[in-house]
Structure 1
Amino acid sequence: MTTFDKREEAFEKKFALDEEQKFKAIARRNKLVGLWAAEKLGLAGEQASDYARSVVASEFDGTGDASVLRKVLADLSAKGIAVSEDELAARMNELMAQAVAQVKAGK
């Protein structure tokens, strides 16, 4: 194996690791968003955990962040809880920073 091949393999491994961490951070962020929304909805314990899992699952309908945003806004609105799209998007950004830190720390 040449030096070039070794470098290429190292870059591929780093890319795969970065993508895995990105995926984990997004899933963690969505869980944190779900727990935040669950608190606003008055859910606790297992109900809050179940709701957070449903928020994480909503990411996989093909539209990513937009589906998470829509689900949480719809759920909050259905309970008469006023949260703007901008407020939720800002909260998601804050929680993404927290999620990235948690994933990097191995939590």
Structure 2
Amino acid sequence: MEDSASGLKLLLSYEVLDTKLQAYQQFVIQQYVPAMQMMGFQVSEVWHTAYGEAPNRLVGFVCRDRQTVDDLLDNEMWLTLNSQLEEYVTEFSYKLVPYQRGVFQM
């Protein structure tokens, strides 16, 4: 995403269940990310927390404008994807922040 002035970042945070790691990875790569791309989002980063109290995954998706976010949040596919994701994770949450290129955001 070239223009960071108007971009937004959707941050997903969750704890991947160790017993479902392989199935989680397949689901995210084969279904979650492609569906998000179809809805106007691109993966900006994926972080793994190896030590500490934070959930072990932080995933960022960026988009160009607020309308793309509003369309996502009103889309049944978004609810379905997250319902399916919750089969592999706990402590799922998300938030929207202004996109800042090259800056770690939480």
TM-score (norm 2): 0.30
**Structure (1/2) with the larger strand percentage:** 2
**Structure (1/2) with the larger helix percentage:** 1
Q: Which has the larger radius of gyration?
A: 1
